[in-house]
Amino acid sequence: MQSISVPLQNRSYPIWIENGLLAKLPELLKPMNQNQKWVIFSQNEIISLYGNNLRESLKSAGFQVELVVLPDGEKAKSLSALEGIFSQLMEMGCDRSSTFLALGGGVVGDAAGFIAATFMRGVDYIQIPTTLLAMVDSSIGGKTGVNLPAGKNLVGVIWQPKAVVIDPKLLESLPEREISSAMGEVIKYGAILDRDIFDLISSNLEDLLKLANPELLTKVIGRCAKLKADVVAEDEREGGKRRILNFGHTIGHALETNFGFDTLRHGEAIAYGMLAAGKLSIEDGRMKNEDFELLEEIIGKLPLPVLPKFDPNDILQIMQRDKKVRGRKIHFVLLEELGKAVIVDDVAKRSIINAMEGL
């Protein structure tokens, strides 16, 4: 089993990675079991695939386990959905000693993490990501959140898990689109932090998309997890370096909000956002054309949906309401070269619109 530490002093925690790890979870969590209530948070499809078996195996190992079914899709991340869930937890007899298990993708992790952070002013939780996107990104670092009509994750808190349990074998049940969408975030790590992993992904993208090489996939997941863990350790609350993880997200999140979260998946939106940020990086005189061409080439290999027609001014308005706006300035992550990113706040609106018009 690969173990990666997220070193945050007294709140440090491990990221465990191994094929078939879900089946070993009762043994893995046994030292943490003090006869408290354990609650699995998940969604219907994941419960059918993994949740019911996990609950039974934990019960057989002496855990007191309950199950909370979250609404499907982004509806799980609405404030209106949470009130009933908090009442449900009270009825189950949960208290400050309870431990929550977030079994699912980014939506489940965000929602369950937010519930853990706010129930009884904070209880322990463990991330068990079932999607590639959650494995490499959202399950690590403690960001939790729910959505508002104005945009994604506008209400939330940073609440670190006690552990992250990654079983790449779970990806075999994912639709192809979920894998290809997540690859946008995987590419992001190489683009901003690690030219070597960028080149490795580029050379093996077809195998990664088809899950044809489990050893390589586990290596890439582990490398992305380590990169994220190191950034979080250096800047937990996103005051400095952690902000570079938002490469592609400034425009990407706005596209996602504009089109609806079902029309454009998160990773797909980020891929388009990275293309736009790459164009801005060239215009800013930071990035060489040949580096942008490599970025464009690898993103071009992803089966992205064609964007519906849109008005860039509408996207710009959404961006101005984003969390990344500070002092009314839109902050962008741009590339100086592949593997090296910088944060700027002086990109002209006309340049932003031009970059979007080229998508």
Nearest to 197 by CA among 227, 230, 231, 167: 227
What per-residue confidence (pLDDT) applies to 225? 98
**Residue of 228, 243, 265, 279 marked active site:** 228
What per-residue confidence (pLDDT) applies to 284? 86
Q: Is 324 a catalytic residue?
A: no
Q: Say how far residue 90 (Cα) sits from the centre of its chain.
A: 29
- The answer, yes or no, to whether residue 328 has pLDDT greater than 80, is no
Nearest to 247 by CA among 286, 267, 277, 214: 277
Is pTM beyond 0.85? Reply is: yes
**Residue of 10, 35, 121, 328 marked active site:** 121
What per-residue confidence (pLDDT) applies to 262? 79
CA distance 7 to 14: 9
**Residue of 152, 226, 243, 253 marked active site:** 253
Q: Which two tokens stand for residue 330?
A: 């839109």
CA dihedral 209, 212, 216, 218 (to 10 degrees): 80
Q: Is 228 a catalytic residue?
A: yes
pLDDT in tens, 177-211: 999 999 999 999 999 999 999 999 999 999 999 99
What per-residue confidence (pLDDT) applies to 11? 95
What per-residue confidence (pLDDT) applies to 154? 86
**Residue of 37, 143, 265, 324 marked active site:** 143
Q: Percentage of the chain with pLDDT > 70?
A: 99
- The answer, yes or no, to whether residue 322 has pLDDT greater than 90, is no
Q: Is 210 a catalytic residue?
A: no
Weakest-pLDDT range from 45-54, 63-72, 328-337:
328-337
Q: Is 249 a catalytic residue?
A: yes
201/74: higher pLDDT: 201
Identify the structural domains of the chain with CATH numbers, from first to last: 2-173 (3.40.50.1970), 176-207+236-357 (1.20.1090.10)
Q: What does the DSSP assignment read for 23-42?
A: GGHHHHHGGG-SS-EEEEEE
pLDDT in tens, 101-152: 999 999 999 999 999 999 999 999 999 999 999 999 999 999 999 998 877 7
Q: Is 242 a catalytic residue?
A: yes
Q: Is 283 a catalytic residue?
A: no
**Residue of 246, 265, 268, 279 marked active site:** 246
Kindly indicate the confidence band of residue 329, based on its pLDDT and cuts at 50, 70 and 90.
confident
The stretch 242-250 carries a mean pLDDT of: 95
What per-residue confidence (pLDDT) applies to 261? 72
pLDDT in tens, 287-309: 999 999 999 999 999 999 999 99
